[in-house]
Amino acid sequence: MNLYAGLWGGLMQPAYERLRGRLTPGLSIRLEQSQYWPLEVLARQQWQDMEALLNLARERVPFYADWFANSGLTVEDIIQARDLSPLPVIGREQLMADPGRFQANPKPAGTFAKATGGSTGRPLRFLVDPASNQWRLAMSRRGYAWAGCRPGVRQVYLWAGDFTPPPGLARIKRGLHRGLMGQIYLDCFDMTPAQMERALKVISRFRPACLVAFTSAALILARHAKARDWRPPASLRSLIVGAEALHAPGRQTLEAAFGCPVFETYGSREFMLMAAECPRHQGLHLSMENLYVEILADGQPARPGQVGQVVVTDLHNSAQPFIRYQNGDLAVLGEGACPCGRTLPRLASVEGRVLDQLTSPDGRRLSGTIFPHLLKDFAAIESFQAQQDRLDHLTLRLVLRAPLDEPQRRRIRQAIGGALPGVEIAIQVVERIPPTPSGKHRVTIGLGQEDRP
C-alpha cells in the first residue's frame, strides 16, 4: 500500500469526515457489523426506517400527501403488514413529468441535485440530501471492501468521463482527493487503441491492487491485453466491474486477462451501490441497510430464480423519497444463505434492461436476456450484440476469439430462430461492439430502441 494513501484512507479521511460532522465513518463501522446480523434484525431495522420515510413522504411530499389522503390507508397500516404493495410503483417517466410533486418541501439543508446519464434521452434530475449521500458512500465503501478495494489501497478506475466537467475549483479538489486516496481515473468512453495502450501502461507502472471498470470497457481492454500478450502486475488482487451486466464467458475472459478474481457490482446514479459480490462469488448481496429492493414479475413478488423488474425504495433520501421506483432493470433473486456468512439477501444475477426486448412477428415480447443463455455454449464467441432492425430481421454482431465455421453459424441461427420464429438472422463479424451514446454496452437492442441510453 502507498504509505501516504494508506494513512489518508485509513486515518486522516475518517478523522476529517468526523470533523465535518459526516455520518460516513460511523456508518462504515456499523455496516461492517450489520452485514452479519440475523436477517430478522436487519428486516426490523428496515421497516423502522421505512416508517420514518413514509411519514416524511406523507407530510412533505405532495404526491404522497395526496396518495395517503385518497387511499384511506395510514403509514401504520403499511408498516404493520410489512407490505408496500398498496403503494404505486413509480417509473422514471412519471418522475420526469412532474418532478416537484415527488420532492420534499421543505428540503433538508444542503440538498443538492444529481442527474442520471443519457446523452440522447433526457436525463432524470433528482435531489439528494447530505445524510443520504453519506449513507450511499458508506454502502459503496463496504461493497468495494469485499473485493479488497478499501480507501487508501491503490486503485485504477476505467470509468465514465464527465458529461459536464465540474467547475475549476471542484475539479482541483476532486483531483487532490483522488490523489490522496490512491486513485487514478481513465475515461472508458475513449477506448481507442492509443488509450488502451495508455491504460495498460498506467496499470503496469502504478501497480494497483484493484481495478474498477465498466464491464464492456474491461472486456475491450482484456482483448487488447491478450493480443499484446500483456502480463498484469502481481499487485493486482481484484477487478470490480459494474454499469453493465456481466455474463459467464465475459467473466472468464476478464479473469484470464487480469489474473485476478472478478467482482460484479450493481449500482445506479439514483442509489449508488445497490448490490455487490462477496469473495464467494455466489450472487450479489443487496445494500439492505440503505435500500429496500423488490423484484416483481407481473406486479407480484418474483420467485427465486424468476426474472423480474427491479423496484427500489431508498430508505434515507429525505430530499426526494424514491418509493417503489422501477428503474428499468431486470434481475433474479437468489435464495438460501451465502457461505460467506453475510445475511444480506442476494441477487442471483442482474439481467440488463427491460428496454432490451424483442418482438416476434406474431406479436410476442421476448426478453433479450435469452441471448446470453442461447449463445453461452459457443466458445468462439467473445462478445455479441443482437439488434432487431425490423420485425422479421435481426442482426447478430459477433466479436470472435476463434473462427466460426458454417455448421456453427447454422446452429446459432437455429437456436435463435427457435426462440424467435419468423425472424431472419444475419450474422455480422465485427472488431468491437460499439457502445451506446452513454458509453454502455447493450447485449440486445429492441425494435426502435437503438437510440435509447
Q: CA-CA distance, 221 to 238, in Å (whole number)?
A: 15
Q: How far is the CB of 340 from Zn ion (least distance, A)?
A: 3
* Least distance in angstroms from the C-beta of 280 to Zn ion: 5
From the list 62-70, 97-105, 112-120, 332-340, the region that binds Zn ion by CB under 5 A is 332-340
Q: Report the site for Zn ion in 280-299 (rule: CB under 5 A).
A: 280
- Residue whose C-alpha cell is 455496516: 31
Q: How many Å apart are CA 442 and CA 357, to the nearest integer? A: 11
- The single residue among 139, 278, 330, 350 that binds Zn ion, judged by CB under 5 A, is 278
Residue 139 beta carbon to Zn ion: minimum distance, rounded to whole angstroms: 15
Minimum CB separation from Zn ion for residue 345, in Å? Answer: 10
Nearest to 352 by CA among 214, 254, 213, 245: 245
CA distance 162 to 4: 27
Integer CA distances (angstroms), 257 to 72, 78, 126, in order: 58, 50, 38
Distance CA 264, CA 266 (A): 7
Beta carbon nearer to Zn ion, 102 or 263: 263
β-strand pairing of 307-314 with 300-301: unpaired
- In the list 342, 353, 397, 442, the residue contacting Zn ion (rule: CB under 5 A) is 342
Q: In 3D, which of 419, 417, 374, 381 has the Cα closest to residue 401?
A: 381
Beta carbon nearer to Zn ion, 1 or 340: 340
| CB-nearer residue toward Zn ion: 149 or 420 | 149
Check residue 145 for interaction with Zn ion (CB under 5 A): no
Cα 76 to Cα 52, 54, 55, 380, 411, distances in angstroms: 11, 9, 9, 57, 57
Closest to Zn ion by CB, 14 vs 334, is: 334
Check residue 142 for interaction with Zn ion (CB under 5 A).
Answer: no
Segment interacting with Zn ion (CB under 5 A) among 15-23, 108-116, 195-203, 279-287: 279-287
Q: Does 340 bind Zn ion (CB under 5 A)?
A: yes
| Member of 7, 181, 338, 374 binding Zn ion (CB under 5 A) | 338
Site residues for Zn ion per CB under 5 A: 278, 280, 338, 340, 342
